[in-house]
Chains A and B, each alone.
Chain A
């Protein structure tokens, strides 16, 4: 057992202590941060502080029209100035006092037609949405405040499952984002640790240390140590990302009140580890088996996709899973072992999954993980001393292999 831990710690530390790993760990959050930063930067670069004018030919706006609050906007709102006629507005535009002006057509209430006049290309989308809010706020000014507020913000739709165990608010977008992001992080992590493992298994054949290793430690302890070590690398990465995402949500929740109380059901939280851990083992063992059958890591690369691609398939059908979570496609995806880790927790957000489906899915996943470990051990025993000659699938599954 001591040797298992030595293999485990060697495999784990050799990756975790490398700059490459630290970079990979930080790259995803840094990438997201960078994109967030670029998005904010674009808003500010697009921001033009000069006021916008309007001419109300319809007479729907009072002379003392109010500006909307603009509390949800990142960039500050611009001033909106009233002009009595188009000529005055045009003069102000040409004099550079305003960046553009809107003309509310006389039959606005019937047609909703508004003209936008600008000199420097197309004005930014934020100006248009700000003027739209301005119109909405002022048109509703005569209504009672509660009515105006409801019309502006719409309804908060709560979807509740028939047995009352699932509940989702239409403004709780985080409830949907969490399982999707969790699945994506899993895909990243499983790819990383699977790749490390593949490399780790082939490495000893490539660098010819395998004979020294197998005369020092049993093949079972070696494979178990390698799988556990490289699996832990992926889990470390996953946990670090989850922790960073959690901190980011707490931080962002201060600014966006609607995500302060996510209402994800408890089933999601226990389904995640129950599917992810065996799925991790399944992919890792497949990678180990693959690594043991080839002579160089690059030989295995074309086959790697066969194991990692199915994991992301549920994302192609995410709309169908969300709209019909108990349909045959969603059910099938949540039962098939390689697609279950993403599909099953995702379905649990939208529906009550029958217990038999959960049991069947977990049983298949765990059985496949156990089978893959057996296959990896067998491939390793048969393929470990094959230098320059890959192990064929016939040998791996055939009778000849069993005698060796």
Chain B
């Protein structure tokens, strides 16, 4: 059973269609990417998912049914618009947020102490939140998201304000949570993070889901008719089935003629005694797909 099931949700604010017939499913134990340009409707979709907003129409099922108060304790949410109580000491602030998620005070203190050590914040636990750097506050917010061991983790731009070391630590943490069987919905603009972490994704643009599925399938779907070839000797000129050949970083990018197949090109290279070191179908990056889809749907 999917952890989240969104079916044809619509949400309008005045004359603005924020979400327009969006449907997708998030399976248990996966990292799911929720992507889209600014103002696409991602945050509204998350807020509908979490019952902060009611949809005008459509259905949302989360953790096996409609959202209720008990389910709030099973969800960890790191919103895009986030913060902590600035005038409160870090530990007291985190304990309060953890107890609101159903933990007893003692259990909250114990777990928070563990996380503070792991996140290298133990020396700052008695400081007021406003005395922490932006990156430290971000880590404290991640603790508040994870401390109650939620089954479903929804995180919006989890890597903003983090340096490369902490970014890697958070990535490891998310992978670890996935290994434990947790479901993670990650909303981000950083496509390389999605490529690295996500199993599946949905791309929302202008309130509509314009791309949805397995990451690898999507990349194949958008793969152009191009090949990347590296050989120990120069490529012969006038290869059949090739329109153009461009040298790029020690390799060659070959564009196929309509009707020509990669297999035909490989066979020809072997016949012409070219020592092929690398031969692959050029896959677009998620960044390229993102731009292509968003520009296409805007047009």
Contacts and interface: CB of A to CB of B under 8 A. Distances in A.
Nearest to A7: B100
B219 interface: no
B72 A10 contact: no
A212 B144 contact: yes
Contacts of B69: 218
B82 A6 contact: no
Contact of B82 (A3, A211, A217, A385): A211
A211 B72 contact: no
Given A10-B96, A207-B83, A208-B83, A214 B88 contact: no
B96 A212 contact: no
A182 B75 CA distance: 48
A327 to B, nearest CB: 49
A387 B144 CA distance: 22
Interface residues of B, number: 26
Contacts of B99: 6
Interface string A192-223: 00000000000100011101111111100000
A216 B97 contact: yes
A149 to B, nearest CB: 63
A209 B85 contact: yes
B72 A209 contact: no
B52 A385 contact: yes
Contacts of B79: 208, 211-212
Nearest to B14: A400
A14 interface: yes
A90 B100 CA distance: 85
B83 A209 contact: yes
A69 B88 CA distance: 61
A207 B86 contact: yes
Most chain A CB neighbours (cut-off 10 Å) among B54, B83, B84, B88: B83
Contact of B100 (A3, A203, A208, A400): A3
Given A212-B144, A217-B72, A14 B88 contact: yes
B86 A208 contact: no
Given A6-B96, A6-B99, A14-B88, A215 B82 contact: no
A218 B69 CA distance: 7
A10 B108 CA distance: 15
A212 B97 contact: yes
B85 A217 contact: no
A214 B51 CA distance: 9
Contacts of B85: 203, 207, 209
B47 A212 contact: no
Contacts of A207: 83-86
Contacts of A203: 85
Interface string B248-291: 00000000000000000000000000000000000000000000
Interface in B76-103: 77-79, 81-86, 88, 96-97, 99-101
B47 A385 contact: yes
Contacts of B54: 404
Given A6-B96, A6-B99, A214 B52 contact: yes
Contact of A211 (B14, B77, B88, B101): B77
Contacts of A14: 88
Interface in B99-125: 99-101
A387 B80 CA distance: 12
B50 interface: yes
Most chain A CB neighbours (cut-off 10 Å) among B78, B84, B96, B144: B96
Contacts of B88: 14
Contacts of B144: 212
Interface string A148-159: 000000000000
Contacts of A7: 100
Interface string B147-189: 0000000000000000000000000000000000000000000
Interface in A296-343: none
Nearest to B95: A10
A14 to B, nearest CB: 7
Contact of A209 (B50, B73, B82, B101): B82
A90 B47 CA distance: 94
A218 B70 CA distance: 10
Contacts of B14: 400
A286 to B, nearest CB: 24
B77 A215 contact: yes
28 contacts: A3-B100, A6-B96, A7-B100, A10-B96, A203-B85, A207-B84, A208-B82, A208-B83, A209-B82, A209-B83, A209-B84, A209-B97, A211-B47, A211-B77, A211-B79, A211-B81, A212-B82, A214-B52, A215-B50, A215-B52, A215-B72, A215-B75, A216-B72, A216-B73, A216-B100, A217-B100, A218-B69, A387-B81
Closest 4 CB pairs of A and B: A208-B83, A211-B79, A216-B100, A207-B83
Interface of A: 3, 6-7, 10, 14, 203, 207-209, 211-218, 385, 387, 400, 404
Given A208-B83, A209-B82, A400-B14, 16 more contacts: A7-B100, A208-B82, A209-B84, A209-B97, A211-B47, A211-B77, A211-B82, A212-B78, A214-B52, A216-B73, A216-B100, A217-B72, A218-B69, A385-B47, A385-B81, A387-B81
